[in-house]
Structure formats: C-alpha cells, structure tokens
Chains A and B, each alone.
Chain A
Amino acid sequence: MKRVAVLTQPLLALVAAFVLTTLALLSTGVSPLEAYRLVLFGAFSTPVRLSDMIMLAAPLLLCAVGLSITFTGGLYNLGVEGQMIVGAIAAMVPLRLWPDWPPLLLWLIAALSGAAGGALWALMIGILRRYAGVSEIFAGLGMNFLAGGLALYMVLGPWRRQSSASLSGTDLLPRELWLPTIDRLRLVPAAPVIALLALVIVWWALTQTRWGLEVRAVGLNPAASERLGIATTRRMAETLAACGALAGIAGMLQVVAVHHALIPNISSGIGLLGLLVALLARANPRWLLPITVAFAAFTVGSIQLPLTLGIDSAIAGVLQGALVLFALATRIRQ
C-alpha cells in the first residue's frame, strides 16, 4: 500500500499540474502540444539555448541549495531575492574599485564580497526575527524591497553610466573581468561548477555532520532542541547566513558571468523560483538538481512563446507553481 502511494502520488501531482496548465493554454486558443514542445524541450533545441539554460540553472541551484538549508532549519527565507541583489552589489564593489588587479584574484574577492553581502543581509532577517519578533517572512519581504531600492540607487546614483544615468544598468565591466565563456556560447563553465560544488558541500554538511543533525533538530522542534542544549539562535543565524552567502554568490555570478554590469533587476525572480524548487524538493538534496534543471528549462523554453505562438511566457511560471502546489497536496500530513 505504502509503496503504491509513493509511486502514484507524485504522478497524480504531475497530472493535476499539467491539467491546470493545459486549461490555461486552451483558453488562449493555441495548440497546447505546440506550446508544451517549446516549454519542455525548447531549452534543449540549440546549443545557445542549452547554454542559456545552464546559466539560469547555476544561480537557481545556488539559491535552492541555500534555501534547503533554511527550510531544514524551519525558516521560510523569502528574503533570498534581496540577498542575491545585495550579493551582486557587494561583488561590484571590488570590481569597480580595483579593475587593474589580476582577474583571478578579483573574481575571488568579488565572490567573497558577494557571499559576505548576502550573508549580512540574511542575518538582518535573523536579527529582526530573534530580537524584534518580526516573522522571517515579512522581514525577508521588507529586506527585498530595501535591496531593490538599494540596487536602483546604485545604478542611478553613484554607479550611473558615464554618458547619462540609465535604468538599463551601470557601464559594462572591462572585458578582462568577464568570466571566460566557451567559444561563441554564453556558457561560463565556472558557474555550474560552483553551483554543483555548493550542492555537494551542503548535502554533506546537512546529512553527514553533527551541525546538520542539530539544524534538522532545530527545524523539527526548536523548543525541544533548546532544552537539549542546542544553541538554537546560533543555528538559526548560521543557516540564514549560509543561505544568504550562497544567494550572494548567485548574485555575483549574475554580475560577472551573465550581465557584466549591475542592473536593477539583477535577481530576475531567480530567488523566488528557488523557493519553489526547494519546496518541491522537500529540502531533500537528491531532488534539487533534477528539479532545478527542469525549472530552468521551462523558463528558458518559454521565452520563445511570445514570438512563435503569440502567448505570454508566464505559462512556465504557471506550470512550475502548479507542480509545487499539487506536490504539496500529496505530501504526508504535517
């Protein structure tokens, strides 16, 4: 009985999600099959799209991995979007200050600075929750608005273009500071490598170490953990900082590997998508990678929809959201 449920329930969620998405597609009058062909497989159709998919999957995986730490610790870190933005801003600082330094050293400093920025931004949420009693959900959302404002300020204020301030972003970084790409593609091999490395390290830390055990205990029952002598406040701060640091590195990648500048929308909703990935993976590291790749493929595949079929690309978000929603329904009662 139980084994049957394990197999049929995800299948049921999958079917329900596709029924909802198909209904939405049918309402526009386009052929759902044609739309699905683009959304599901479009990202694999050409090398350029495949490389775009990988370049989206890398920061997405970093965010989702970070969020699986905070989920394990029992926190809803909705502030991940802001942590990514602040990470991107913090990574820009050394790049703008010392553009003449050797690129390798600069990238390292930028990554550290981005991670520190994201971690500090995440810790603010911890402080607001622990000492001001603001739920981490609202603290996170507030910090997102604040981070967005900060990015806009930098783009239009101190780091505005030399010609004239523009919403399209700061001046591009000098070419030497762009992370190297594979010939003629926008694929930066370093990005997926960093993301996969983070996945392995976090999986190890959460499942194989005493620290991971304590984080899981805090997530399941903070009051009992406290009584058992676990420093719950400290673990909470550590999980938030770790998630923020990973999101910050994702932000740094957006700067040095994708946009080569700071743009106001540097996080592009990747953090929120990462929340969906982490919710669907149930903070289980084994599922993080396949779900991340699938979601990144949906998003990249759907970009062609407006041009080829004349429908909005938001259908990828509908499919992603529906999948997570129905997967939640089949989860064991909490």
Chain B
Amino acid sequence: MVIVRYRYIGSNVQIAMEQLWIDMAAVLAAAAPLVIAAMGETLSERAGVINLSLDGTMLLAAMTGFAVAFTTQNLILGFAAAALVGALVAAVLGVFSLTLGQSQTAVGFVLALLCTDLSSFLGAPFVRLPGPAVPFMPIPGLADLPILGPILFRHDPVIYASFLLVPATAYLLYSTRLGLIVRALGERPAAVYARGIDVTRWRYAMLILGGALVGIAGAAFSLDLKQGWSYRHTFGSGWIVLAIVIFGGWRPLRVALGCYLFAALEIVATRSQSALPGIPTQMIQVAPFVFMILVLALVNLASSPTVARWIATLPSVWQRPLLVIVYRLRATAPAALGQPFERP
C-alpha cells in the first residue's frame, strides 16, 4: 500500500523528480483493482457476454472478502471468498441470460442493484473495522533500481499481480487456441458451433472466470487499496470499468491503459484541490468520471459513419491526418456482444 503525501518543496528538481516517481507509483497502485476488474470484464465481453453487474459484484465481493479475512485473519481465504462471490454472481447472470434467454442488460443491471444492497445489508456489522491488509512487499534488488525501482517494484503482491494480468490476458486472447475460441464466441458464435464447440458452455466458462477476477478486484479494494469496508465502498468504480472496457476497444493493453489514465486523472484531481480552492472537493472527485465519458464519446465518434461522411467532405489535405486519428481511436465491439445464441 502506498500512502502518498503531495508536497513539492521549493524548486529542488531532485525532490520534484522523486515526487513524480512516487506519484506514478500511486497511479499504478490506485489502478490495480480497476485493471483486475477490467481484464475480467474484457474476457467475458470478448466471449460475447456483458456483465453489467460489475459495480454490485465488486461491492459484494469486497464486503465478503473483508468479512472472511477479518473473521479468519487469513488474507488468502478473503481473496478466495471474494473470487467465489464474483464467480457466483456471474453464474447467476449466466443462468438468467444464457440459459433462460433474458436480456443480459436487464439481468446485469438488476444484479448490480441487488448486490449493492446485499453488500450494505450483510456488511453492516463490518463497517469501519480495522482488518487485515495485504502487506507491502518491495522486490529485493529490483526495488533499488533508479527510477524504475520506486515506480514498479515497491508495491504489494496484488499490484504486481495486476501488472502480470495484463500481458497474461493479452497472451490468452491472441496467442492461444482458447483465445481464438473466445474471440470467435464474441464475433461469430455460429462458426464456433459449426466446429463442434458448445457455445453456451464456453460462454459460461469465460463469464465465470471474468466474474472471479471482478470479485478479486473487489477484495483488492477492501483488503488493499482502501483497507476496510464501508457502505458503497468502491464509489462507482464498477461502472467506470465498464466504460473503460469500451474505451479500450476490448483490447487488453488499451483497456489497461484506460485504467491507468483514469487513476492518473483521479490523482491529478485530488492534487488540484489545493490549486483550485474555489471549486468544491466533491466536484473535483466526479470530474474523472465525466472526463472518461467524454473520451468514450470521442472514441465512439471515431467509429461512427457520420464522422466518416464528414471527413469525406473536407479538403483532401485534412482528410489523411484525420483518418489516421480516427483509425487509431476506433473501437469496435465484438459483433455478437450481448446477443443471445440460438442453435442453428
């Protein structure tokens, strides 16, 4: 856990630089739960299932993880319980949407509210209790490297895991046979079916795997980043993760980048409080959320035919650079995302 005091002393460049490394480390730490949840959501959305219950699942898992770790004084059990809760909620979503054929959006939304209230109700006895927390664990040797050491190697295991999860997800999706199946599930499930693979069963598997990761992300809040449980602990992070997955175009590396961007915005927002005394704190806290939605609009705008038509009307000098920008920003959803699969 990194607790950072923001203070620039004088014009001493050395200190300012060190402060910058500490800030960057803080961004990486603050983004860890977001990254874990976003990788989980990316996996299930690439397989064609939207898990809209993210915010509620994270809260319920955060509460359960804390309660279990508090009662047993065992962190591993806490994380395991959180993963189980996440997987369970995902399985419920699977039963209702994949098996019973209901709208993923509707079921996911109801689950989000239900889990939020369940976490408030069941978690009431655990509010603001001091509990176990993931221990700080600098990596010997690497932690003393200049620049990279303080940024990357002075964290705790959860944060290291979040670093590793991003390339792992990318590897799984793009370099393995399983990844090929997952991507096909989201793009053209009928083709997967034709190859003799059970679409519904594999969608369940990815949904539940993703859900378990979302659960772990919840525990990363209550056992690591925010250390403890209180009412609506994650402050809407689950919703922002859903937006970040879209912003990232369902590609793990870009999704992770979105998480780090959001965490950086939050840190900048907290920091600018002292610089902008006229603006209330709470305003600044919602600013990153609003900014993310604007970015999302921009990203989506890049994929819309309206913009392509507009670019075509411009003088040709402008067209090429604009098209390059649009191409870079473009994010296309898996073609079968959110669609029910009927056996042909």
- A-side residues, CB < 8 A to B, are 24, 27-28, 76, 78, 128, 131-135, 137-139, 141-143, 145-146, 148-149, 152-153, 156-157, 165, 167, 264, 272, 275-276, 279, 311-312, 314-318, 320-322, 324-325, 328-329, 331, 333-334
Contacts and interface: CB of A to CB of B under 8 A. Distances in A.
Interface in B117-147: 117-118, 120-122, 124-125
Interface stretch (B4-12, B104-112, B173-181): B104-112
A275 to B, nearest CB: 7
Given A152-B282, A153-B280, A312-B124, A321 B114 contact: yes
Q: Which of A134, A141, A331, A334 has the most CB of B within 10 A?
A: A134
Contacts of B118: 24, 314, 318
B113 A138 contact: no
B149 interface: no
B105 A328 contact: no
A133 B289 contact: no
User: What DSSP secondary structure best describes chain A's contact surface?
Assistant: helix
A54 B137 CA distance: 56
A142 B340 contact: no
A319 to B, nearest CB: 9
A128 B110 CA distance: 24
A272 B121 CA distance: 18
The 6 lowest CB-CB distance pairs between A and B, nearest first, are A142-B293, A321-B114, A317-B117, A314-B120, A333-B101, A149-B286
A318 B114 CA distance: 5
Interface residues of B, number: 48
Q: Which of B100, B107, B293 has the most CB of A within 10 A?
A: B293
Interface string B35-64: 000000000000000001000000000000
A194 to B, nearest CB: 26
A183 B239 CA distance: 44
Interface stretch (B20-28, B301-309, B314-322): B301-309
User: What DSSP secondary structure best describes chain B's contact surface?
Assistant: helix
A149 B290 CA distance: 9
Interface of B: 52, 95-96, 100-103, 105-107, 109-111, 113-114, 116-118, 120-122, 124-125, 236, 239, 242-243, 246, 279-280, 282-283, 286-287, 289-290, 292-294, 296-298, 300-301, 303-304, 306, 340
Q: Which of A153, A311, A312 has the most CB of B within 10 A?
A: A312
B161 to A, nearest CB: 28
Given A142-B290, A149-B282, 11 more contacts: A76-B105, A138-B293, A142-B243, A142-B294, A145-B289, A153-B283, A312-B124, A314-B124, A315-B121, A318-B114, A320-B113
A321 B113 contact: yes
Contacts of A321: 110-111, 113-114, 117
Contacts of B292: 142
Contact of B103 (A148, A167, A272, A334): A334
